[in-house]
Amino acid sequence: MTSNTPKQPTPLLSMIPVMVLVIMLFVTIRIFGSDILEGGSQMVLLFASAVCCFIAIFYQKIKWSVIENSISDTVKGVTPALFILLIIGALSGSWMISGIVPSFIYYGIQIIHPKFFLVTACIICSIVSVITGSSWTTIATIGVALLGVGQAQGFSDGWIAGAIISGGYFGDKVSPLSDTTILASSVTGTPLFKHIRYLMGTTVPSMLITLVIFTLAGLSHNTITDLNIDTYMSVLKETFYISPWLFLVPVVTIVMIVKRVPVLVTLFVSAVLAGIFALFFQPHILMEISGSGVISSAAAKFKGLLITFYGSTAIDGGNNEINQLLSTRGMAGMMNTVWLILCAMCYGGAMLASGMLQSITSLFIRFMKRTVGVVASTVVSGLFFNLTTADQYISIILTGKMFNETYKEKGYESRLLSRTTEDAVTVTSPLVPWNTCGMTQSTILGISTFVYFPYCFFNLLSPLMSIIVAATGYKIKRNTDISKF
């Protein structure tokens, strides 16, 4: 257990923790269903981590301190994301109770025609995410508001979330303000704007196909009756003080993001501003949230405001669907996700320390003989890292570093690697239930990853488009005489 020359794991041995994870997740999902994030998936990740650690310590002779340090490093890497997630919980609650989201829904129902809602929602989220460079911020703000509009117009949760996430990750992929875009270009040594321009070769076709699908789906949608829409609008009007003045908070939020104010600061300020607006515009709701037993109205409002930030709220709108729409979970509602992220980082850290990830991905290099094989191997590797490390940042770094020398040796430009990495990792991360992005988007929208997965067409098409474009050889240059596929 204290050897300085640990054994290198074979690919077959390295697959054991992965198979344990997959099999246990399959069984757990069948048993728990949509409640798997309440603790079942967390325990599965810990058991898979334990299997990995057992092999590493007793077979590979790796010191426990090495594994522990690796886990600590991976957890440290996602610490900012954990704080952002908690602040998003407070933001979601304050934006709802202050009347910002209800106002978006109220006016959105009147402005956006149901037949074109899905494509409009996707375009809006695309524009906002390009401007902000953040899918998380886009989905937690504009996305939540659009979710309410879509539900009021009778769309299923999966279709709505698919449109929102597709648009949100378009900007996360191509915006020069996006941290993943900057990371992918820097890890591969590709100039940022050269990377972004090259991304358009796969990103634009994927998005165009996505918009066509959402347009056709919207045109075939059976529009909810005017009576039901009127019911939504009347309940919102009776429950909240609806006013365009409430949109000042989103405007200030977008300005801060454009000014490159740190994300954590921006979200916190936005939540506080929304809380102040709630005191002025929705005092009656804060009184309702506080409940009975409060000495004065001022104390009741203060108590209601704090509950809005940290706890669950339920407002009676006289309709179960509307009640569900107006409910919030605050920071406390994010704790299961935080717990899941920590467990996922334990698994990723153990797999990295044992060398099992590197052993498995070495198999992909064997198929890198032609251009399409090179790109396909990179895509599969990126997807594998998203599944096993449960974090898009780690996946981008590992994919970029692992294939960097191989691409150089085969004469490919670095921009091909940076584009393929983004196609494979950035946009697929919200499709993995235990990935930090999948857990976050599922928690923010209140919709299971398994529900929205089939409708995130942009996210599903991007890695496929990367392989298709590679097969055609479009704008793929090599510095050697090796023939292209």
* Tens of pLDDT, residues 126-173: 887 876 667 877 887 778 878 888 887 888 999 999 999 999 999 888
What is the full DSSP assignment across 138-170?
Answer: HIIIIIHHHHHHHHHTT--HHHHHHHHHHHHHH
Residue with the two structure tokens 């979601």:
92
Three-state DSSP class for residue 412: strand
- Under the banding of pLDDT at 50, 70 and 90, the label for residue 192 is confident
pLDDT of residue 3: 47
For the cut 90, the answer to whether the pLDDT of residue 207 exceeds it is yes
For the cut 50, the answer to whether the pLDDT of residue 391 exceeds it is yes
Three-state DSSP class for residue 328: strand
| CB-based contact 301:279 (threshold 8 Å) | yes
pLDDT in tens, 304-355: 899 999 888 877 766 665 666 677 778 888 787 788 778 877 887 888 888 8
For the cut 70, the answer to whether the pLDDT of residue 190 exceeds it is yes
- Under the banding of pLDDT at 50, 70 and 90, the label for residue 35 is low
Which value, in Å, is the radius of gyration of the alpha carbons in the chain?
A: 24
- Under the banding of pLDDT at 50, 70 and 90, the label for residue 431 is very high
| CB-based contact 449:432 (threshold 8 Å) | yes
Identify the sign of the CA torsion 458, 460, 463, 469: negative
User: Nearest-5° angle of CA 179, CA 180, CA 182?
Assistant: 65
- Under the banding of pLDDT at 50, 70 and 90, the label for residue 465 is very high
For the cut 90, the answer to whether the pLDDT of residue 290 exceeds it is no
Read off the tokens for 239. 């429950």
- Under the banding of pLDDT at 50, 70 and 90, the label for residue 483 is very low
Name the residue among 452, 469, 485, 473 with its Cα closest to residue 205: 469
pLDDT of residue 361: 72
Residue with the two structure tokens 């301190």:
65
Task: Considering only residues 90 and 404, tell me which one the structure prediction assigns the higher pLDDT.
Answer: 90
pLDDT in tens, 103-115: 887 887 777 788 8
Dist. CA 331–CA 340, nearest whole Å: 15
Name the residue among 368, 382, 100, 116 with its Cα closest to residue 254: 100
Which CA distances in Å does 176 have to 134, 233, 292, 424?
A: 10, 39, 50, 18
Read off the tokens for 445. 């929208």
pLDDT of residue 293: 65
Q: Label residue 370 left, alpha or beta by phi (over 0 means left) and psi (-120 to 50 means alpha).
A: beta
pLDDT in tens, 215-244: 999 888 775 555 456 777 777 788 888 889
280's CB contacts (< 8 A; 6+ apart) are none
Identify the sign of the CA torsion 12, 14, 19, 22: negative
pLDDT of residue 228: 59
Task: Considering only residues 210 and 186, tell me which one the structure prediction assigns the higher pLDDT.
Answer: 210
pLDDT of residue 484: 40
pLDDT of residue 462: 94
| CB-based contact 421:399 (threshold 8 Å) | yes
Highest mean pLDDT of the ranges 88-102, 327-341, 395-409, 440-454: 440-454
Averaged over 29-45, what is the pLDDT?
Answer: 75
Dihedral angle computed from the Cα positions of residues 419, 420, 426 and 428, in that order, rounded to the nearest 10 degrees: 150
pLDDT of residue 2: 46
pLDDT of residue 51: 94
For the cut 90, the answer to whether the pLDDT of residue 178 exceeds it is no
User: Nearest-5° angle of CA 103, CA 106, CA 108?
Assistant: 100
Read off the tokens for 105. 């829904």
Please report, as a single letter, which amino acid is at residue 183.
L
| CB-based contact 211:119 (threshold 8 Å) | yes
276's CB contacts (< 8 A; 6+ apart) are none
- Under the banding of pLDDT at 50, 70 and 90, the label for residue 21 is confident
53's CB contacts (< 8 A; 6+ apart) are 64, 67, 350, 354
Which CA distances in Å does 217 have to 119, 144, 464?
A: 9, 21, 22
Mean pLDDT of the chain: 82
Phi, psi of 313 (to 5 degrees): -130, 150
**Number of other CB atoms surrounding residue 113 within 10 Å:** 11
